[in-house]
Structure 1
Amino acid sequence: MKAMIRDVEKHVGEEITIGCWLANKRSSGKIAFLQLRDGSGFMQGVVVKETVGEELFKTAKGLTQESSMWVTGVIKSDGGRTAIGHEMEITAIEVIHEAIDYPITPKAHGTDFLMDNRHLWLRSKRQHAVMVVRNELIRATYEFFNQEGFIKVDPPILTGSAPEGTTELFHTKYFDEDAYLSQSGQLYMEAAAMALGKVFSFGPTFRAEKSKTRRHLIEFWMMEPEMAFYDHEMNLEVQENYVSHLVQSALTNCRAELELLERDLTVLENIKAPFPRVTYTEAIAMLKEQGFDDIEFGDDFGAPHETAIANTFARPVFITHWPKDIKPFYMKEDPENPGFVLCDDLIAPEGYGEIVGGSQREEDFEKLRAGMKAHDLDETGAYKWYLETRKYGSVPHSGFGLGLERTVAWITGVEHVRETIPFPRLLNRLYP
């Protein structure tokens, strides 16, 4: 019977066959311990010379790192020595392909070397654990929004305009027109919300930002919900409930992976809605009190500022009501506080920074039109269709975007977002 490592607990006492690779090994004169992996998990295989004979034992001892094979054996409890709780007493090995001089050995390697060999580095236990958590957050995202009655919509990747009027875009030619790789699907999701009520998207986005920080990628994945008839406060509730769902899902379904990554689970166990909220003005005052003399009203926050604010609460915190002048044109001005907009950044603790950005959108045709004019956006050209969403049955609506890789980094506790996407695109890296 063929099976996978993740399912071995169903086959205790049975002889099964697993297709796998050799991650590592150690042996003595009488026993060989093979660390096996099959993509679904890692497990130890034990080869006892006295039981299997000289020829099979010689084969086991001669296996090289990352060689592929079929292994057959009986599944037994390992006495709780490993996370999986079981091991295989091997009775047969059929080598499929012998790997020679695998470059990533069990010793320490430099970051550049590992990034050059990302296609192989993904095979390691640590990277496997990060990718499993990433997958769980994607699964939990679909679960959350489906349960809340959202409809999945896929916005285009090639666009004719910039959602935020920025110049940090990747330009290309779309036959005889100018086009750009999308930096956000938001504007299209607003149009979709007017048709379908509550929608969400999940896909790649691109930022031509020349940044080398541990928080930035050139290509990353965004979750972008948009909701008709939702105001600012309702939007905040969806955000905190969604992020709480992600954290609790990871704790429930990826505890072994988080433990392997040495994540402090007590920190994550405290991440439950509702989250603290401070206004931008209050945040400026907090920073001043903490000795940040470099920050002034009207400034955006850098990494040290975000870290200081979030660590004050040791939980994600909303920074709301930002000055209108430093936020995008589509955000709705606070009717009770002119000069500020109904928006938020959700800041993760422990130095991981902004993981969510959201706002109530301006639904008034003339006000949105004035905002576009102030940002020199062509209302008769590339943005004409967007303005028309306020011309025909406009309603109050809100939305947000969550950066998947930053969220994975925070939940797993890894330092750099380059480990949270299979093949990262960084400022000076397009390989592999």
Structure 2
Amino acid sequence: MKKIMIQDLHNHLGETIKLGAWLANKRSSGKIAFLQLRDGSGFVQGVVVKAEVSEELFATAKSLSQETSMYIIGEVKKDDRSSFGFELQVKEIEVIHEAVDYPITPKEHGTEFLMDNRHLWLRSRKQHAIMKIRNEVIRATYEFFNDNGFSKVDPPILTGSAPEGTSELFKTKYFDEDAYLSQSGQLYMEAAAMALGKVFSFGPTFRAEKSKTRRHLIEFWMIEPEMAFVEFEENLEVQEQFVSYVIQSVLKNCKLELERLERDVTKLEHIQAPFPRISYDDAIIFLNENGFDDIKWGEDFGSPHETAIAEHYKKPVFITHYPIGIKPFYMQPHPDRDDVVLCADLIAPEGYGEIIGGSERVHDYELLKQRLDEHGLDQKAYAWYLELRKQGSVPHSGFGLGLERTVAWISGAEHVREAIPFPRLLNRLYP
């Protein structure tokens, strides 16, 4: 008998099928056992009716322990009471492996306990739902960029220089020279854009930042497009179109998961381009007028400041034209001002903070040399990057979207650590 996945049961209504599954939970009365089954693709209830099966089978069903693996044979039935819409009328159970003393039970557990058991915690309904949403964000990302003429390029993870300096990078030895784990693939993606026009990367990045906030990870995944002949305003349009596309894809394809997470989807349904924009100058004024007297022009925003601005708009908002002194060397100065750059951060609502940072890049050779000097960076290490400005340089722009922050926001997860399978935190390298 062909094995079927739970996600495909709707195609087999009324049929008797075989399912490989684990027992997530169970309850029983004297005459019926209800088995909550999962197979990775979804969850379904298996119903074992005492009067319809052998005594041995019913005894087996009642004795099953949490996370025991098995093969189940049963008939697919309609079940209008569940959000999934189907259940399995169980006819046979073949135990594969009996789980003993499974540590994560339906009771409440502390965060550290759950993190120590992350390899098992992933099996829970909530974590399963978040991972499925993460997968949909990834799928929609590839779809969006492929449909819009981008080529995927994979930048190196080991680098000899850094886009934003080396103070927050992991340093390692590369034979007889120093190397760093990448904090961004951006510089390499700029080179790729000069070859392929519109490119994007999707890979792991690393920040040796000693932060314990709910927004930070040591290792996380970034989506980094770069576009030749694209200037600042066009860059913002691509960003808002991309985020809107991803949100609508999740709403369409992850309804069960959002429901399982009890996510208020009304807060996501209205998120479509265009997004509101506020300049850094006006953001400072707004904050000063709304109880944030501590923030002054020239200072970077913290989490409370970003949250206050985003909550005012109730949807993602661009904060544009930051002071040149608090942004990296590669950002193009404003054409009419020498104190701000053509950049923007996209701030998610509901306290999730910055999900995108982007800018138009410096395309003038002499200006880029000057900016490197101002930031105390070695021009030799960036010689290849400088050369891009000598060989047919063009205006170009790009951005980076943090996958985990975006997934946490869409799913409503309390902490970004739930948005990645195995989080790396300041004091956590296990499991």
TM-score by length of 1: 0.99
Q: Equivalents in 2 of 1:343, 1:265: separation in Å?
A: 30
Q: What residue is the counterpart of 1:6 in the other structure?
A: 7
Per the alignment, in what secondary structure is the counterpart of residue 340 of structure 1?
coil
Could you list the per-position Cα deviations for residues 203-244 of structure 1 after superposition, in whole angstroms to 9, with x for gaps in the alignment? 000000000000000000000000000000000000000000
Per the alignment, in what secondary structure is the counterpart of residue 143 of structure 2?
helix
In the alignment, residue 281 of structure 1 is paired with which amino acid?
A: D
Per the alignment, in what secondary structure is the counterpart of residue 34 of structure 2?
strand
1:184 lines up with 2:197 in the alignment? no
Q: What residue is the counterpart of 2:261 in the other structure?
A: 261
In the alignment, residue 89 of structure 2 is paired with which amino acid?
A: E
1:422 lines up with 2:417 in the alignment? no
1:74 lines up with 2:63 in the alignment? no
Q: What residue is the counterpart of 2:150 in the other structure?
A: 150
Deviation at 1:43?
A: 0.2
Q: Equivalents in 1 of 2:190, 2:45: separation in Å?
A: 51
Q: What residue is the counterpart of 2:198 in the other structure?
A: 198
Q: What residue is the counterpart of 2:408 in the other structure?
A: 409
Could you list the per-position Cα deviations for residues 298-347 of structure 1 after superposition, in whole angstroms to 9, with x for gaps in the alignment? 01000000000001000000000111111000000001122110000000
Q: What residue is the counterpart of 1:289 in the other structure?
A: 289
1:46 lines up with 2:39 in the alignment? no
Q: Equivalents in 1 of 2:119, 2:300: separation in Å?
A: 37
Q: How does 1:28-39 map to 2 (within 5 A)?
A: 28-39=29-40
Per the alignment, in what secondary structure is the counterpart of residue 67 of structure 2?
coil
Q: What residue is the counterpart of 1:130 in the other structure?
A: 130
Deviation at 1:376?
A: 1.3
Q: How does 1:154-303 map to 2 (within 5 A)?
A: 154-303=154-303
Could you list the per-position Cα deviations for residues 404-427 of structure 1 after superposition, in whole angstroms to 9, with x for gaps in the alignment? 000001101111000000000000
Could you list the per-position Cα deviations for residues 79-120 of structure 1 after superposition, in whole angstroms to 9, with x for gaps in the alignment? x22121000000000000000000001111000000000000
Q: What residue is the counterpart of 1:371 in the other structure?
A: 371
In the alignment, residue 424 of structure 1 is paired with which amino acid?
A: P
Q: Equivalents in 2 of 1:263, 1:247: separation in Å?
A: 13
Q: Equivalents in 1 of 2:317, 2:243: separation in Å?
A: 11
Deviation at 1:28?
A: 1.2
Per the alignment, in what secondary structure is the counterpart of residue 101 of structure 1?
coil
Instruction: Give the aligned length.
Output: 430
Q: What residue is the counterpart of 1:56 in the other structure?
A: 57
In the alignment, residue 325 of structure 2 is paired with which amino acid?
A: D
RMSD (CA atoms): 0.6
Per the alignment, in what secondary structure is the counterpart of residue 220 of structure 1?
strand
Q: Equivalents in 2 of 1:189, 1:339: separation in Å?
A: 27
Per the alignment, in what secondary structure is the counterpart of residue 210 of structure 1?
coil
Q: Equivalents in 2 of 1:25, 1:262: separation in Å?
A: 22
TM-score by length of 2: 0.99
Q: What residue is the counterpart of 2:353 in the other structure?
A: 353
Q: What residue is the counterpart of 1:383 in the other structure?
A: 382
Per the alignment, in what secondary structure is the counterpart of residue 282 of structure 2?
helix
Could you list the per-position Cα deviations for residues 329-370 of structure 1 after superposition, in whole angstroms to 9, with x for gaps in the alignment? 000000112211000000001100000000000000000010
Q: Equivalents in 2 of 1:385, 1:132: separation in Å?
A: 40
Q: What residue is the counterpart of 2:327 in the other structure?
A: 327
Q: Equivalents in 2 of 1:7, 1:84: separation in Å?
A: 11
In the alignment, residue 170 of structure 1 is paired with which amino acid?
A: F
Q: Equivalents in 1 of 2:405, 2:306: separation in Å?
A: 14
Deviation at 1:166?
A: 3.6
Could you list the per-position Cα deviations for residues 103-154 of structure 1 after superposition, in whole angstroms to 9, with x for gaps in the alignment? 0011110000000000000000000000000000000000000011000000
Per the alignment, in what secondary structure is the counterpart of residue 297 of structure 2?
coil
Q: Equivalents in 2 of 1:13, 1:263: separation in Å?
A: 32
- More deviation, 329-338/205-214: 329-338
1:431 lines up with 2:430 in the alignment? yes
Deviation at 1:58?
A: 0.4
Q: Equivalents in 1 of 2:235, 2:374: separation in Å?
A: 26
In the alignment, residue 428 of structure 2 is paired with which amino acid?
A: R
Per the alignment, in what secondary structure is the counterpart of residue 341 of structure 1?
coil
Per the alignment, in what secondary structure is the counterpart of residue 428 of structure 2?
coil
Q: Equivalents in 1 of 2:49, 2:341: separation in Å?
A: 69
Q: What residue is the counterpart of 2:27 in the other structure?
A: 26
In the alignment, residue 319 of structure 2 is paired with which amino acid?
A: I
Q: What residue is the counterpart of 2:391 in the other structure?
A: 392
Unaligned runs of 5+ in 2: none
In the alignment, residue 296 of structure 2 is paired with which amino acid?
A: E
Per the alignment, in what secondary structure is the counterpart of residue 322 of structure 1?
coil
In the alignment, residue 430 of structure 2 is paired with which amino acid?
A: Y
In the alignment, residue 386 of structure 1 is paired with which amino acid?
A: Y
Per the alignment, in what secondary structure is the counterpart of residue 45 of structure 1?
strand
Unaligned runs of 5+ in 1: none
In the alignment, residue 273 of structure 1 is paired with which amino acid?
A: A
Could you list the per-position Cα deviations for residues 362-391 of structure 1 after superposition, in whole angstroms to 9, with x for gaps in the alignment? 0000000100011111112x1111111101
Could you list the per-position Cα deviations for residues 272-305 of structure 1 after superposition, in whole angstroms to 9, with x for gaps in the alignment? 0000001000000000110101100101000000
In the alignment, residue 410 of structure 1 is paired with which amino acid?
A: W
In the alignment, residue 265 of structure 2 is paired with which amino acid?
A: L
Q: Equivalents in 2 of 1:430, 1:216: separation in Å?
A: 15
Flag as ranges the 4+ runs of structure 1 deviating above 4 A. none
